[in-house]
Amino acid sequence: MPEPVPQDLKAPEPEHCPGPQSEDAGKGDACTGCANKEICESLPKGPDPDIPLINERLKDIKHKILVLSGKGGVGKSTFTSMLSWALAADEDVEVGAMDLDICGPSLPRMLGAQGETVHSSNSGWTPVYVADNLGMMSIGFMLPDEDSAIIWRGAKKNGLIKQFLKDVDWGHLDYLVVDTPPGTSDEHISVNSFLKGSGIDGALIVTTPQEVALLDVRKEIDFCRKAGIRVLGIVENMSGFVCPGCHGESQIFKATTGGGEALSKELGVPFLGSVPLDPRIGRACDNGESFLDLYPDSPATTAILDVVDKLLEAVDAE
Amino acid sequence: MKTIVVLSGKGGVGKSSVTLQLALQLASTNAQVGVLDLDITGPSLPRMFGVENYKVLQSHSGWLPVRVSPQLQVMSIGFLLSDRGNSVVWRGAKKTGMVQQFLRDTYWGDLDYLIIDTPPGTGDEHIALAEEIKTVDGAVIVTTPQMVAINDVKKEINFCHKVNFKIIGVVENMSGFKCPHCDECTDVFNSGGGEKLCKELGLTLLGQLPIDPAFVETVESQKIVQMYGSTSMKKVFEPVAKAVEDKVQATGVEQLST
């Protein structure tokens, strides 16, 4: 497999680097004296020549949904896997799940594809199929061993994301669900700019009820607005916990400021629902099994399916 | 001054929460503590310390962090934003610049401990941190009990080895939830992951912190700095902080003798 290196920069980007691909590359104040000046100046400018290739590659994908959250550990990957299982429950629907979390890919484990390797053919990299109609692709598959740390600067991540979008042979898909890392940085800017041309249906925002999480989620929604990504809705995860012993309900992460629902009202975005914390969800994810199939009568399953329905309505309402 | 870095490969496991508790606990022993928040795109510390509306002041000697108590100062990008909902959409190079500026230009005065909170992963902020400060007295790794978290944490440990951060030990957060109705403890996020990880890699398990809704609520109400002494989490966290303190002080001696 070719090592995905986007630019062969001689030195790390300086503090106020305008970005090697920007119009000002090689011309900014920070470029004076930078070892990369000449390389940046000579890089192709203007529209990225790879974008038409990405558009071509993804043209048979009907819907693309990003799963975002400013905060880590709120359940982006869990929800991505649930959404994928739920969509793939219909045999006639082709689903792809893509993991863009380069430093901490969780989807392979959650979808039961841990330890698989990606095969490359003439037509590109073939996704790993965890069900007949559910393919998945993650950076996790390309690491030499499971535990090695990916210590990459942003520019290198962008290159890999581009290659991901350009080279993975998804074929025809009804839905591509894209899991992202927390934050609003390189991965998010890149995936948005690379996918803009082929069309993103929108973003599903995942949060937990506490204000500490909502604070970061506000930022993510602000990012979506700036980037022109439609917010399909907010789902509140880990809201409420039903004790398996006494069936008493308690709020582990108390929504002192009204939780996801109040936030969606405040920002004028749809609220898709709350999913209670069921300890079996974590266990099913650790084992790479579909929680929805294992525990169809759990209140969490009902809540998740309800959210998926509302989400699909939002996608179709476009 | 001792520098302690709080790390985790996984997001939302409680890095900021552990940073908060460690800072409050060390400060309660009369040490001067500085807390630096390196999470550029999702700073949580201003909210957690209850100083969300404060601003950083510029002085001749550099940026003056926000003082939360006579013992405790905090620096975060959150103090530099004009609105709390504003997003910081920055690529790596710019984040690197910000991290360097925080590390170089913050005027802490005399500190006994500098605790550095980090974003999840092993990205630009971490590389910048490792390049900028050569002397980290120890790293505290935070995890939750699930395998999914453990996987990411292993990567972070690898990162620590690569950049020569000494690992003090592992804190397993969210390990069990005691139902307020029947007092039965449920492993909400699976169990035993932290212990297994420590055994496998020969690390010290500094402690297992249960989910305490009362503590979460106190933090949410932004009164934790005043109320910390009376929370039940203090008792649970005390030995963790003590272990960190002992290990960090011990590494100092080791460095002197070599």
> What ipTM describes this predicted complex?
0.89
Write down the residue that tokens 């002992």 correspond to.
B246
Q: Do A103 and B121 touch (CB under 8 A)?
A: yes
Kindly state the average pLDDT of the residues A227-245.
Answer: 92
Judge if A80 and A176 occupy the same domain.
yes
pLDDT digits over B139-189, tens only? 999 999 998 899 899 999 999 999 999 999 999 999 999 888 888 888 988
**DSSP label of A5:** -
Hey, what are A113's tokens?
């594809």
pLDDT digits over A2-57, tens only? 433 345 666 777 777 777 766 677 777 777 777 777 777 766 566 788 899 999 99
The per-residue pLDDT for A148 is: 83
The answer to whether A285 is a known ligand-binding residue is no
Judge if A307 and A286 occupy the same domain.
yes
Confidence of residue B253 (pLDDT cuts 50, 70, 90): very low
**DSSP E strands, chain A:** 61-68, 95-99, 119-121, 124-126, 128-131, 134-138, 173-179, 202-207, 231-236, 241-242, 249-250, 271-274
Task: Give me the number of domains chain A comprises.
Answer: 2
The per-residue pLDDT for A44 is: 59
Neighbours of B133 (CB within 10 A): 15
Cβ partners under 8 Å of residue B215, min gap 6: B231, B232, B233
Judge if A42 and A54 occupy the same domain.
no
Using a CB-CB distance cutoff of 8 angstroms, which residues of chain A are in contact with residue B41? 70, 182-185, 216, 219
Judge if A152 and A179 occupy the same domain.
yes
CA A70 to CA A73: how far, in whole Å? 10
Kindly state the average pLDDT of the residues A155-173.
Answer: 91
CB-based contact, B230 to chain A, within 8 Å: no
CB-based contact, A72 to chain B, within 8 Å: yes
Residue A76 backbone phi and psi in degrees, to 5 = -60, -50
Neighbours of A35 (CB within 10 A): 11
Judge if A148 and A276 occupy the same domain.
yes
Residue A95 has pLDDT above 70, yes or no: yes
Judge if A21 and A93 occupy the same domain.
no
Judge if A88 and A22 occupy the same domain.
no
How buried is residue B6: exposed, middle or buried, by Cβ count under 10 Å (0-12/13-18/19+)? Answer: buried
The per-residue pLDDT for A17 is: 76
- Answer with the residue of higher pLDDT: A305 or A38: A305
What residue numbers bound the domain in which A21 lies? Answer: 16-46
Class of domain B2-257: alpha beta
Using a CB-CB distance cutoff of 8 angstroms, which residues of chain B are in contact with residue A253? 213, 216
How buried is residue B107: exposed, middle or buried, by Cβ count under 10 Å (0-12/13-18/19+)? Answer: middle
The per-residue pLDDT for B251 is: 67
Q: Do B13 and A152 touch (CB under 8 A)?
A: no
What is the average pLDDT score of chain A?
A: 89
**DSSP label of A29:** G
Most B CBs within 10 A among A22, A158, A185, A251, hence the mutation to make, goes to A185
Alpha helices in A28-184 (DSSP H): 37-42, 50-57, 76-88, 107-110, 154-167
The per-residue pLDDT for A210 is: 93
Classify residue A201: in a domain, yes or no. Answer: yes
Judge if A29 and A158 occupy the same domain.
no
Classify residue A11: in a domain, yes or no. Answer: no
Kindly state the average pLDDT of the residues A218-228.
Answer: 95
The per-residue pLDDT for A242 is: 82
Judge if A40 and A143 occupy the same domain.
no
Q: Where are the domains of chain B?
A: 2-257
pLDDT digits over B192-208, tens only? 889 999 999 999 999 99
Judge if A308 and A209 occupy the same domain.
yes
Hey, what are B131's tokens?
């390049």
Classify residue A10: in a domain, yes or no. Answer: no
Judge if A201 and A263 occupy the same domain.
yes
**DSSP label of B78:** G
pLDDT digits over A242-292, tens only? 888 787 888 888 898 999 999 999 999 999 999 999 999 999 999 999 999
The per-residue pLDDT for B184 is: 83
The answer to whether A75 is a known ligand-binding residue is yes
The per-residue pLDDT for A47 is: 73
Residues 25-64 of A with CB under 8 A from B: none
Judge if A186 and A309 occupy the same domain.
yes
Confidence of residue B37 (pLDDT cuts 50, 70, 90): very high
Residue A101 has pLDDT above 50, yes or no: yes
Residue B257 has pLDDT above 70, yes or no: no
Using a CB-CB distance cutoff of 8 angstroms, which residues of chain B are in contact with residue A257? 220
Which CATH number do you get for residue A78?
Answer: 3.40.50.300
Kindly state the average pLDDT of the residues A129-142.
Answer: 90
The per-residue pLDDT for B199 is: 95
Residue B258 has pLDDT above 60, yes or no: no
The per-residue pLDDT for B256 is: 44
Under 8 Å CB pairs connecting chains A and B tally to 237
pLDDT digits over B70-128, tens only? 999 999 999 999 999 999 999 999 999 999 999 999 999 999 999 999 999 999 999 99
Kindly state the average pLDDT of the residues A112-121.
Answer: 87
